Amino acid sequence: MLENKVAVVTGGAFGIGRVTAEVLARAGAKVVIGDLLGEKAERVAASIRAEGGEALAVACDLADPDAIEAMFAAAVATYGGVDFLDHNAATTDFMTDLDVLEVDLETWDRVQAVNLKGALLCARAAIPLMIERGGGSIVTISSGSASIGELRRVAYGVSKAGIEQLTRHFANRHGRDGIRSNSVAPGFIATTSALQGIPEPMRRRLADQNPMRRLGTPQDIANVVAFLFSDAAAYINGQVLHVDGGTQIAGVLAGADPPGG
């Protein structure tokens, strides 16, 4: 489906990013995996290569403009260009990303630098390369947090709302260049990191609150990203797709206090 295309996946060492990189590679894309944890990213790339795919790992701090430029330069040097960008990388800190009165300002700055500024800088690097190729596609990973009023994680929610607005800007400004831009807003996705510290009764409650009576998986998100990169999505531009099993339409807010909070 994506044969001979080149995809840059940020935050590709774990969770949704890792599975997305694997799905894109199986669909025929050459994948560049950028992650702060370069050794972990290399393990993912090696696994893809072992399955017969093509993948390159690049250690990249998404808060560092020079590192981002180097990542895209490596993509061009290795594979000749870039067709797709999946900005999946994100950070937060549940202990310090609190409410408006208590959020740690260093945490605020770091979250905005990685999640939001990182999306801007990746797009600035990718768009000229896509124009050279005659077009391309950008997918940013947002969150249900972008459109609700969480009681905590104010920095994270603001960064994700900003990502959606950036994506609409990309779509409007560069649709004429053949570049489509869309956001995917996951609900609660059962990654290893997301499940850490969440007791089994709460996991069951989260699943029971979902109209589909299950938690989302990284594969659910990765499949949508691959679709948005494909020609089957050729007329989808500037949209936010909520991939959450219907959580938001059911009126279930993810903004409740965490366990013990």
The residues assigned a catalytic role are 156
Q: Which has the closest alpha carbon to 196: 99, 125, 94?
A: 94
Q: Which has the closest alpha carbon to 249: 142, 144, 141, 143?
A: 144
- Between the two ends of the chain, the Cα-to-Cα distance in Å is 45
Amino acid letter, residue 84:
F
Measure the CA–CA gap between 87 and 2, rounded to whole angstroms. Answer: 18
Measure the CA–CA gap between 108 and 38, rounded to whole angstroms. Answer: 24
Radius of gyration of the chain, Cα coordinates, nearest whole angstrom: 18
Measure the CA–CA gap between 44 and 19, rounded to whole angstroms. Answer: 9
